[in-house]
Amino acid sequence: MHPNMYQAGSQAGSIIDNVTGDKLYGITFDHSIQHIIEAANKTSLILVKYFEKGPRSDSSPPPPPYTITKSNDYDEQLIDEGSLNEPLDGTASSDQLSWLSIIAYASVGLPYSMQLSIIAFYINEFLLDVAKVSPGYNAIILFTSRLIDALTDPIGGYLFSRCSFRWGKMRPWILFSAPCVALSYFGVWCLPNISGGGKLAYYLLVHSLLWTFMTASRIPHTALTVYLTLNQHERDQLTKYRTLFEAAGLLLSIVFQSGIAAIFGVSKVLPLCDDNSTNTSEWYNSSIVENSTMKVNSSLPNVAGAYMTSAGIVSLLCILSSVFLFFSVTEVVDVIPTNQTSYTKGFKMIIRYKPFLILTAATVASILATQSIQSVLELYLNNVKKNRTIFPFLAGTLIVSTMILLFVWSIIMRKIGKKKSFVIGNLCLIPTVIIILISESPMALLFVAAIMGANTVACGYIMPWAMLPECIDAFMLETGRRPVEIFYTFFFLGAKLVQALYAGVVQLALGASGYDSTRCEQPEAVQFALKILMGAVPGCVLVLSTICLYFYSIDDERAKEIQIQLKTLRDTSSPEKGLVNDSNKMDNESADVYL
């Protein structure tokens, strides 16, 4: 092809003045091939946008429930959302989140927290003492199911990021996964009349299904914070009330489970142990302990009935709260233009994003510290402190203190920043660890330890989830991408992997130390293992969490700068700018058009 063909073509159809050499009329083509292709791409994108919107008419359907724009002669106008930091004081603009939306969003956390709390406090006891699963099988069930849960997170993240529905992006996942969560949770507390190997297969299946379906509900629920509002203060409010409902679920679970047990005549008291008695059971069955010196309090059918009734009620709450949320909130989409990216590329970018990795490590360590105490608290009180009656009161003190401190720390984080608040909250667990490690410490000090530890629990509840949206916003400003679902997926994944590993470690440590649920007195090695799990492990991982936070770059000042930049972008954005044309950001991927 002749190199001057396009130059020659630019003269086609023209008439040249013989004197001046000017073109008098005709058609000229002064574009290079690259410019022609770019113009064609822009035109095709505009046409796609036009046909997706359709011709304007009074009968046109309303925009999807997850948009924040209004249609007017093919131009979309931003709804005024006021200041990014405007408080919820009744003077805000009409598009502000209503209290009904906040409560509906937070309500899903109540049954979820009840499920987690009941599982954390009672699953070991149920499997070992009621279902009569061996400690080895118990370790396999708990570890493998949580490992499967962690491995399904990336699959869920891919589906969350790629699937959108006419009702929104996150809300349908919450609604349709709720019945599956309810059914599998009920199955966890059933007693199948099968052999030991059959019990292993059954409980492994229902536990794996439960955690998988919880992933399909939990990740969209927490990610919904970003989709309900663009206002950072409102996001903090959503996080605060969600964690408040979750803390209430912890408290309610203890009271609720104890009440159900009382209705069914099931009680947990210290057996009458003497030098000649070696058999004991937390849930008594007269056919099992016929020759024992223990007092018989209930039969196995009553115990099974208590657990199944409790599971049925909590499962019903799970479904009702999801329906309440679905019909009470609407999703929004940010008008700031961003680039679409593949799931694999988004994952690679995120795992190389230093602030996210640091925040995830700090959060995982903080969660592990508090849950390591929660998971063996009752065993610690029974076997180290020799007190089987104080557990409900101590757990109640911890949870009530956490609920109160959630409001305290939400105020503190607005005064000194989230990062500093997180660090101080971690340090509050140090007195708790010291008291736990001292075997001779009086029982009254345990309540002081619970109140101090409640600060760490409250910060662990609210700080990471309030900091993550800021991390996502910073990532969007730096890269032009906003893969919210992938962020939340791998935020959960890190915590789940560590929790799965730790659940197996606890069971192996108890087994190696000689723990036997049928004995009145446990070996001293068991007491030592419980003190390590309750004291040394939380102390070490909290040090790791604090070190990570020291290197976290998004402090309070940086967070304010991010919000100012985002507000400026939103104020200057228009539908025409929704098509991203910056070749440096496109990375050979097509632009994403938000309607």
Q: Per residue in 28-60, pLDDT tens?
A: 444 444 554 455 555 555 444 444 444 444 444
pLDDT of residue 44: 53
Domain ranges for the chain: 5-57, 99-572
Q: Per residue in 349-392, pLDDT tens?
A: 888 999 999 999 999 898 888 878 877 888 888 888 888 788 87
Q: Which of 6-15, 252-261, 310-319, 489-498 has the highest mean pLDDT?
A: 310-319
Q: Per residue in 170-229, pLDDT tens?
A: 899 999 999 999 999 999 999 888 888 899 999 999 999 999 999 999 999 998 988 898
pLDDT of residue 399: 82
Q: Per residue in 481-531, pLDDT tens?
A: 878 888 888 888 877 777 777 877 887 888 888 887 667 778 888 888 888
pLDDT band at 142 (very low <50, low <70, confident <90, very high): confident
Cβ neighbors of 457 (< 8 A, separation 6 or more) are: 370, 398, 402, 405
Torsion, Cα of 38, 41, 42, 44 (10° steps):
160
| DSSP-assigned states of every residue in 294-324 | SPP---HHHHHHHHHHHHHHHHHHHHHHHHH
Q: Does the model's pTM come out above 0.75?
A: no
Q: Please state, in angstroms and rounded to a whole number, the distance separating the CA atoms of residues 339 and 314.
A: 41
pLDDT of residue 337: 61
Angle 95-164-471 (CA atoms, 0-180°, nearest 5)? 65
- Checking if the pLDDT of 11 tops 80, the result is no
- Checking if the pLDDT of 285 tops 70, the result is no
Identify the CATH class of 99-572: mainly alpha
CA 349 from chain center: how many Å? 21
pLDDT band at 299 (very low <50, low <70, confident <90, very high): low
- Tokens describing residue 9: 């073509």
What is the enclosing helix (H) or strand (E) of 529?
helix 524-531
Cβ neighbors of 99 (< 8 A, separation 6 or more) are: none
| DSSP-assigned states of every residue in 329-377 | -------S--B---HHHHHHHHHT-HHHHHHHHHHHHHHHHHHHHHHHH
pLDDT of residue 355: 93
Give me the mean pLDDT over the 299-323 stretch. 88
Q: Please state, in angstroms and rounded to a whole number, the distance separating the CA atoms of residues 506 and 494.
A: 19
Average pLDDT over the chain, rounded to an integer: 75
Taking residue 574's Cβ as centre, other Cβ atoms within 10 Å add up to: 12
